[in-house]
Structure 1
Amino acid sequence: MSPATVVRIHATLRTAVNAAVRARLMPINPANGAALPRPRRPHPVVWTAGRTARWRQTGERPAVAVWTGQQLAAFLAGIAQDRLYAAWWLAALRGLRRGELAGLRRTDVDLQAAEQTVTQQRVHADGRVMVGPPKSAAGCRVVALDAETVRVLSRHRERQEKLSAAAGTRWQDSGYVFTTADGAPLRPDYLTGRFRRLVTASGQPPVRLHDLRHGAATLALAAHTDLKVVQAMLGHATIVLTADTYVSVLPEVAHHAAQETARLVLSTASALGQPLGG
């Protein structure tokens, strides 16, 4: 098991035994003294031209990778006619989790107000798909929608209405935004498998469906979005998680920052009559 899995199991066990201690079923909690490994969070790596070329030659790929804006745009352009295009769009630009996409209901989307509410998710548990709350309390959130996202969701709704009319009595009015061709709710693992096939067919370097969430944070940062706003968009309890785990820096942003830093120093030196030179 990975260190992160060990830590999560320990946390669950410690909580359970603490309850037993409070109920005086056990005198102490032996889990409190356990020596735990230190999990290391994998940080997102951007698919630069060099990394992409190396992947094509050797198959080497990062554990967590994000596309550049150009790569994402090319992917979305190539799958524009996919029935679940709006789901991939929301994951890539608004950072929804897989379970949140599967659990999104039509009543959660207000196109006039340009907002969607995340209140539930569909997850796998005990071999079944169950509906439950988002991953954390902060996961219950309102996500702002831009004009293009509203248009994408409007087109998706129109496609769904055509599917409903074509299916007739076979249509299941489940109330979900993303469904099967006959209106039934989607299994979260179906989204994973379908996305993987689309990425392979696109020829773009590989990313996982959850990596789109990392990419959404990275693109928002590149668009000069405040980190607190990105935290709220993703539904994180703390800004530390957003900054440390979900945000990587696109090469063009890093180069722009380097240029601006040098420009600030040079202009300051020039204003002081002390031009710099190597």
Structure 2
Amino acid sequence: MSSHGSLYKRCGCRDRDTGKAAGTHCSSLSHPGHGSWYYSLEVPAGLDGRRRRIRRGGFSSRRAAAQALTRLRTPSTDDLCNPNLTVGRWLAIWLATRIALRPSTLRSYTELTHNHLLPALGTIPLRDLHPADIQTMFTRLARKRHAEGGTLSASSVARIHATLRAALNAAVRERLLTDNPARYVELPPARRPRAVIWTPDRIAEFNRDGVRPAVAVWTPTQTAHFLSTIRGHRLYAAYHLIALRGLRRSEAAGLRWCDVDLDGGVLMVCTQLQRVGGQVLQVPPKTDSSRRLIALDHTTVTALRRHRRNQEAELAERGREGHGWVFTHAHGSPINPDYLTRTFGALVVSAGLPPIRLHDLRHGAATLALQAGASLKVIQDQLGHSSIVLTADTYISVVPEVARHAAEDVARLVLHAGRTAPGTTRPRRSARPPRARRARTHRRLR
């Protein structure tokens, strides 16, 4: 490998027969917008004497990858051997060498680093960084949050801490630190918001004060009204799929016809589309659990068949050929996930429904499945969660009907127990009046 580094292109596609990643050998890499660019660079040995190879990807163009490689190579990674290496310089090196991060995660790390970590810690020598320095930063962030009326939530503070901790863990692995000082910092608890239902009382409260819940979902009736209202829209099938089967917007945008089996009533989530740096990139699913099979009901299959006929007619009318994407613009190019979000917001307003986010439509799919009697495990698999705790704590709102059914079941259980003899399933015999028993005994004695 050249000491100046190399550039290459790869994607997240997998062979349908073997399941192995195509990587740099995918036949579609020559198509514009397919895959992303990477660089590779071998750097000098660090303090531990080991040589390292740095790889980083997710760039939308060869030029962007080349520019990032140049920034990493100059002034050079000799900084790793500099005893005065600052926290700021280490954070820059760490961000430039992340190879396993999704583009959206890398963008989040970069924003949190530049907005919060660099101003507070950037000039401190890395080896002199103390837990007290980090605690002071988070104390100031908490005060800033309260002073500005809650602009920085506890969950945002937790993400800042996670970013710093990951960067310092990497410094420990490089033998630049002996321990991670971020381990010893106390943070305010970050709780996931639980979804609430748009009941009539909650709608009335929203109309009075205009305060929107952090996570809100529609009732089944409201969801049905929305789908009925937009039935003629060209992206109806996309919103139908999200509302009933709980796909993420990036998963819906990245869905390809080769991943859909309408005859078998299933689809495979194996790729996503994400907007990063002004470009829409094809990326692997969020986690291993996100790569999943989703069963389709007959109404969803019907909606997708109708959508495919309409799509083929649109392309034929414009003399275009499709590239295999399920949801596209009229000329055949794939849909930007942000476009799905903007369009959804306009459709909600036109339907006259209480506001929810497009991601809340996914929350609602979980709630509908719970109401229909599905188990948490089934819902976890449907949504592609790695933990059933996440499913229970974040995505499931116990709708009133389900809660009432549970209450009735408990009452029936108790009443049934009261009607049976202890230790048996036989009905309990009713006790006879004491006076009648005494009379019968008296007759025997006679």
TM superposition score category, shorter chain reference:
over 0.9
Paired residue for 2:413, among 250, 264, 267?
264
Deviations 1:217-270 (A, max 9, x none): 111011111211110000000111001111111111111222222222223223
What pairs with 1:143-182 in structure 2 (closer than 5 Å)?
A: 143-168=294-319, 171=320, 173-182=322-331
Where is the helix percentage greater, Structure 1 or Structure 2? 1
Q: Give the secondary-structure state (helix, strand or coil) at the position aligned to 1:56.
A: helix
Provide the C-alpha distance between the structure 1 equivalents of 2:168 and 2:311, rounded to a whole number of angstroms: 49
State yes or no: 1:108 paired with 2:235.
no
Which position in structure 2 is the counterpart of 1:194? 343
Match for residue 40 of structure 1 among 191, 215, 224 = 191
Which residue pairs with 1:247 in the alignment? 396
SS, match of residue 324 in structure 2: coil
Which of 87, 97, 109 aligns to 2:238? It is: 87
More displaced 10-residue stretch of structure 1: 33-42 or 77-86: 33-42
Are the aligned partners of 1:48 and 1:251 in contact in 2 as well (CA < 8 Å)?
no
Q: Work out whether residues 222 and 250 of structure 1, in 8 Å CA contact, stay in contact via their aligned partners in 2.
A: yes
Following TM superposition, by how much is the alpha carbon of 1:274 offset from its aligned partner in structure 2, in angstroms?
9.9
Identity %: 55
Match of 2:274 in 1: 123
**How many residue pairs are counted as aligned between the two chains?**
273
Deviations 1:24-72 (A, max 9, x none): 2333322222222321111000111221233234433311111111111
- 2:52 corresponds in structure 1 to none
State the distance in 1 between where 2:382 and 2:269 align. 10
Partner SS for 1:75: helix
Name the amino acid aligned to 1:30. Answer: P
Asked if structure 2 preserves the Cα contact closer than 8 Å seen for 1:94 and 1:143, the reply is yes
Q: Does 1:20 align with 2:171?
A: yes
Matched AA of 2:257: R
The 5 Å alignment of 1:219-230 reads: 219-230=368-379
Q: Could you tell me which residue of structure 2 aligns to residue 5 of structure 1?
A: 156
Partner amino acid, structure 2, of 1:93? L
> Quick one: distance in 2 between partners of 1:36 and 1:209?
30
RMSD: 1.8
Secondary structure of the structure 2 residue equivalent to 1:138:
coil
8 Å CA contact 1:108–1:118 kept in 2: the answer is yes
- The one-letter amino acid of 2:387's match is T
What's the CA shift string for 1:85-125, capped at 9, x where partnerless? 11101111110001111111111111122111111111122
Q: For residues 186-244 of structure 1, what are the alpha-carbon distances to aligned partners after superposition, in whole Å with 9 as ceiling and x for unaligned?
A: 11111111000000110111111000111111110111112111100000001110011
Q: SS in structure 1 opposite 2:419?
A: helix
What is the alpha-carbon distance in structure 2 between the residues aligned to residue 27 and residue 258 of structure 1?
55
1:61 equivalent in alignment to 2:242: no
CA positional deviation for 1:8: 2.3
* 4+ residue segments displaced more than 4 Å: 272-275
Residue type of the partner of 1:31?
A: A
What amino acid is the match of 2:391?
T
**Mapped partners of 1:108, 1:261: distance in 2:** 44
Query: Which amino acid letter does the alignment assign opposite residue 44 of structure 1?
Result: A
Q: Distance in 2 between matches of 1:38 and 1:189?
A: 31
TM-score w.r.t. length of structure 1:
0.92
Instruction: Give the residue type in structure 1 aligned to 2:259.
Output: D
Q: CA deviation at 1:172?
A: 5.3
The answer for unaligned runs of 5 or more in structure 1 is none
- Does the aligned pair in 2 maintain the 1:172–1:184 contact within 8 Å? no
**RCO (CA 8 Å, sep 6+): is it higher in 1 or 2?**
1
Partner Cα distance (2:325, 2:343) in 1: 18
TM-score of the aligned structures, taking structure 2 as reference length? 0.59
Q: Distance in 2 between matches of 1:220 and 1:152?
A: 19
Q: 1:197 to 1:16 in 2, by over 3 A?
A: same
Distance 1:274 1:97, change over 3 A: farther
